[in-house]
Structure 1
Amino acid sequence: MRALFVVLKPLCFLALLGYCPSATIRPKEGWQVYSSAQDADGRCICTVVAPEQNLCSRDAKSRQLRQLLEKIQNMSQSIEVLNLRTQRDFQYVMKMESQMKGLRSKFRQIESNRRTLLTKNFQELKGKMNELQPLIPVLEQYKTDATLISQFKEEIKNLSLVLTAIQEEIGAYDYEELQQRVLGLEGRLRNCMNKLTCGKLMKITGPITVKTSGTRFGAWMTDPQASPKNNKVWYMDSYTNNKIVREYKSVSDFVSGVESRTYNLPFHWAGTNHVVYNGSLYYNKYQSNIIVRYSFESGRVMTQRALESAGFHNVYPYTWGGFSDIDLMADELGLWAVYATNQNAGNIVISQLDPLTIQVLNSWNTEYSKRNAGESFMICGTLYITNSHLTGAKVYYSYSTKTSTYEYMDIPIHNQYFHMSMLDYNARDRTLYGWNNGHQVLFNVTLFHIIKTDDES
């Protein structure tokens, strides 16, 4: 759970960050959460649907201030463009003013000496003077406009500086406020995740192919009770005539084929439905209904006990056979055995086991034929059964041990390599481990949770 929270927290955190807690939230309102296991990149997928919340008023004011500042900046840019154009025209007019002064001087000379000049030259100079005469008031207006533009530009600059300072001040205040909101949301999310232990299966995605090895049938697993730093993988090839368990320190070592240790079990196993739970391997002893608990730490059998009335040696296997009569599995609630008995007409029986003694703590009789089941797995005390081990398989039936009720379902599972001989849920990883025709694969599961407040829990 801790490993899931570490990965899940950033995604859920981002989903909530756009809102701030509202003081009007009623304590009895709950959260709805869809969560799943890791994707191909090792990230978890989570969507949190929280109670509707109001936006912070301070955020609205900050947004208005930012919009105002943007308008001021746009105005400043427009003024800059106008100023450049004005300066350019102003330089042109100043040049024309200089020319007019020169013409005036020449005109005075012409007036004094006009008797010595031809009438034609005089008229040309007079015409040029008349053309330039209207530019005099324009020149004066440009001078006035240039002064006003310069003043306006200075005021815009000062106003922008003031608004920027205000924005920085409010921004700093908002950051502190946002940080408090983040801490609050993180606390609420942590409480949510502490309660997010069980849920109803909604979807199965994948598979992700981890490795291709071994025969068509086998099992591989990790320990759901191990610490987050312990990622050992155990590998058991074939469904019979084998006693060798291979251990790898990590999934990467497993992919690379770097073994850390090999265990030679005292008895052959039957089927592929073994489970590692809290440091021990639980498996069905060949040609018997005896469950063996083998400790990896001590390297010896700690307990073995017969599962009373359970069929074995292909009396009540899954559809693919392979001595898969007794399926051992673990979930959030503990250790389980799934099997069939004559007393229950060959239909599946679910028993919760004591991990130390392998004694049956409680049992539930279902109405689903064991021989018609492709595979099955437990999540949060509910058994999910696939209708086939071949292509087109789907989760077709579920039985809740909490309510002692069943439900027909339609959740597809992509049987990529056409033959599934092992499918087990790992509560720590929140994934399904599968052995798919000689391929070791992982499936993501999406669970639906109703997270209640402390007043409701």
Structure 2
Amino acid sequence: MQPVLTLLATLLLLPLVLLGQPQLVRNLSNSMNESGTCHCTVHLPNSSVLLQQLEQLQSMAKELIGEYEQQLLWASKYARAIEEQENQALEISQTQEIRNPNTITSLYETPAFNLLLLELEGAQALTAELKTKAGASRTADLLHQLQEQVTNASLSLKLLADSDQRSFRALQQEVDVLQGRLNECEREKEQEQASRHPGPPLPPGSCAHGGLQKVSRPLVLQLNWRGISHKAGAWGRDSAPSPDSPLYWVAPLRADGRYFDYYRLHKSYDDLVMLKNYEQWKMGYGDGSGNTVYKNFMYFNYYGTSDIAKVDLSSNTLVLQRPLPGATYNNRFSYASVPWKDLDFAGDEKGLWVLYATEESKGNLVVSRLNASTLEVEESWRTSQYKPALSGAFMACGVLYALRSLSTRQEEIFYAFDTTNGQERHLSILLDKMLETLHGINYSPSDHRLYVYNDGYLMYYDLTFLTLKPTLSRPAAKRPSGDRAPPRVVKSNRLQ
């Protein structure tokens, strides 16, 4: 209590100094009794105004002393509370991380933390107000020290909150990455099990599968019937899903790699292998190796134009020619290492398609479904893939699969675009090849094979699709309140 008494004495004498009238103090005497106690007598002028001011200052001094002692008590309590909160938060974090990292609650979000932060802010405001009232007295210095202590405590609490929040976010990101890896491992495990224990073979024209899973090693059939100098061309089976019509066709281009003038038709696979019982026709107006056969009609790019041409294979008659709106031509946006393939036609279980690029798409691949009778475009989708960066593409069950060259002996099917929902995804399915360039690529729904014209050689691949089976859905991981997962955005690439 000695500092408090000293402070009180100072405050009692303060008005005498502040009034600047020391000459009014008079009759100052002192005496000491037998016990050694000193008595001082001060005679003040008879002024009620000065006495009232002295009483007010005495009252203010008592109030400041009381507030000061209360603030010291509060500061001590806050220091203990902060220490307890730190220990409690550390224990909760360690315990919850062991049990389930997804259920950790940030200290910054607890009610006790928010209450403590508000109380410290209130203490800061109160000490600032008391400091203003105290003026330049010694009490002001003490209040200044108290204000610094409260400010430091508040700053420490905020730093603790920020550190906890950053640690929580980093931990949540790590958990999300681990969850993604887990899901990827599950998908790979399912694919591996499906490949080890394949389901029943798909019937011709069936799309009851989960997409392309793998490609077999190539089976090289033979050199094209025009010789090794005709490196560019296309071949395949009628891409309409009809096993009752096993029509095979071979269309080598001229040695210049552009002009399409002759083709052969075989009514069976054996006739193709034995090079017998064939029909050979001359056309003289085809451009590039993007042609295909669908329902006994051949579709190709008419020479030097953006037109679609349709030939009846029964009579080798050009029955329809129609421009493809917006399509570039004359080698504007062809595939990498495959020139003059501006229009790439494809047939599958869903119908007839054409793959091309436009100036509007800035060279990105566009997929259009055609009306096989009128050659009108029924619907179009724009992909995110730059066509000259691709080595080829094909359609299967309404899904576009794009390829890129990895080396002179290997390709990769790396991209898929589903026209049923406009979603795209990346994959990695390796495809071996005998020679460097894959010119014509045609898929047949009748036998689920990929027919490829590889630098003059005819070869094919057997395709394996993921088997559909019922799976139990994994419950979504719970996130702390207020930490919502970002909404899933489905990118629509459909052209209006």
TM-score after normalising by structure 2: 0.51
Q: 2:219 matched to 1:208?
A: yes
Amino acid at match of 2:212: L
Q: Distance in 2 between matches of 1:278 and 1:285?
A: 19
Q: Distance in 1 between matches of 2:207 and 2:339?
A: 36
Matches for 1:406-417 after TM superposition, within 5 Å? 406-417=424-435
Q: 2:341 matched to 1:341?
A: no
SS at match of 1:388: strand
Could you give the per-residue CA deviations for residues 252-297 of structure 1, whole angstroms, max 9, x where no partner exists? 22222214212222x4211111111011001111111111111112
C-alpha spacing 1:413/1:386, structure 2 compared with 1 (3 Å):
same
C-alpha spacing 1:35/1:220, structure 2 compared with 1 (3 Å):
farther
SS at match of 2:271: helix
Task: Report if the CA contact (8 A) 1:217-1:272 is conserved.
Answer: yes
- Indicate the residue corresponding to 2:141 in structure 1: none
Amino acid at match of 1:345: K
Could you give the per-residue CA deviations for residues 209-264 of structure 1, whole angstroms, max 9, x where no partner exists? 11122321111111133743432211111143332121122222222221421222
Matches for 1:434-445 after TM superposition, within 5 Å? 434-445=452-463
Matches for 1:82-231 after TM superposition, within 5 Å? 196-213=207-224, 214=227, 215-225=230-240, 227-231=242-246
Task: Report if the CA contact (8 A) 1:433-1:441 is conserved.
Answer: yes
C-alpha spacing 1:330/1:252, structure 2 compared with 1 (3 Å):
same
SS at match of 2:214: strand
- Indicate the residue corresponding to 1:379 in structure 2: 396
Could you give the per-residue CA deviations for residues 44-73 of structure 1, whole angstroms, max 9, x where no partner exists? x9822xxxxxxxxxxxxxxxxxxxxxxxxx
- Indicate the residue corresponding to 1:328 in structure 2: 345
Could you give the per-residue CA deviations for residues 312-353 of structure 1, whole angstroms, max 9, x where no partner exists? 111000001320111000111010000001101110000000
- Indicate the residue corresponding to 1:232 in structure 2: 247
SS at match of 2:432: coil
- Indicate the residue corresponding to 1:368 in structure 2: 385
Matching residue within 405, 429, 446 for 2:423: 405
C-alpha spacing 1:449/1:302, structure 2 compared with 1 (3 Å):
farther
- Indicate the residue corresponding to 1:289 in structure 2: 306
Amino acid at match of 2:348: D
Q: Distance in 1 between matches of 2:201 and 2:252?
A: 40
Amino acid at match of 1:205: S
Matches for 1:272-283 after TM superposition, within 5 Å? 272-283=289-300
Long gaps (5+) in structure 1: 1-30, 37-44, 49-188
Amino acid at match of 1:339: Y
Task: Report if the CA contact (8 A) 2:309-2:322 is conserved.
Answer: yes
Q: Distance in 2 between matches of 1:316 and 1:396?
A: 20
Q: 2:376 matched to 1:359?
A: yes
Q: Distance in 2 between matches of 1:194 and 1:434?
A: 20
C-alpha spacing 1:451/1:357, structure 2 compared with 1 (3 Å):
farther
SS at match of 1:252: helix
Matches for 1:62-81 after TM superposition, within 5 Å? none
Number of corresponding residues = 274
- Indicate the residue corresponding to 1:314 in structure 2: 331
Could you give the per-residue CA deviations for residues 359-386 of structure 1, whole angstroms, max 9, x where no partner exists? 0000001110000000101111111111
C-alpha spacing 1:257/1:431, structure 2 compared with 1 (3 Å):
same
RMSD: 2.8
Amino acid at match of 1:217: A
- Indicate the residue corresponding to 2:266 in structure 1: 248
Query: 4+ runs of 1 displaced by more than 6 Å?
Result: 31-36, 189-195
SS at match of 2:442: strand
Q: Distance in 2 between matches of 1:291 and 1:416?
A: 31
TM-score after normalising by structure 1: 0.56
Task: Report if the CA contact (8 A) 2:204-2:243 is conserved.
Answer: no
Amino acid at match of 1:200: G
C-alpha spacing 1:192/1:430, structure 2 compared with 1 (3 Å):
closer
- Indicate the residue corresponding to 1:257 in structure 2: 275
Amino acid at match of 1:244: Y
C-alpha spacing 1:423/1:34, structure 2 compared with 1 (3 Å):
farther
SS at match of 1:225: coil
Query: Greater RCO between the two (CA within 8 Å, min separation 6)?
Result: 1
Structure 1 residue 196, shift from structure 2 partner: 4.9
Q: Distance in 1 between matches of 2:365 and 2:240?
A: 26
- Indicate the residue corresponding to 1:185 in structure 2: none
Q: Distance in 2 between matches of 1:191 and 1:440?
A: 24
C-alpha spacing 1:325/1:193, structure 2 compared with 1 (3 Å):
closer
Task: Report if the CA contact (8 A) 2:414-2:428 is conserved.
Answer: yes
Matches for 1:418-433 after TM superposition, within 5 Å? 418-433=436-451
Q: Distance in 1 between matches of 2:453 and 2:303?
A: 20
- Indicate the residue corresponding to 1:47 in structure 2: 198
SS at match of 1:254: helix
Task: Report if the CA contact (8 A) 1:198-1:379 is conserved.
Answer: no
Task: Report if the CA contact (8 A) 1:204-1:444 is conserved.
Answer: yes
C-alpha spacing 1:191/1:257, structure 2 compared with 1 (3 Å):
closer
Task: Report if the CA contact (8 A) 1:375-1:388 is conserved.
Answer: no
- Indicate the residue corresponding to 1:68 in structure 2: none
Could you give the per-residue CA deviations for residues 143-173 of structure 1, whole angstroms, max 9, x where no partner exists? xxxxxxxxxxxxxxxxxxxxxxxxxxxxxxx
Structure 1 residue 397, shift from structure 2 partner: 1.2
Q: Which protein is bigger by CA-based radius of gyration?
A: 2
- Greater Cα shift, 229-238 or 276-285: 229-238
Structure 1 residue 35, shift from structure 2 partner: 8.6
Once the two structures are aligned, what percentage of the paired residues are identical? 26
Task: Report if the CA contact (8 A) 1:240-1:286 is conserved.
Answer: no
Long gaps (5+) in structure 2: 1-189, 472-496
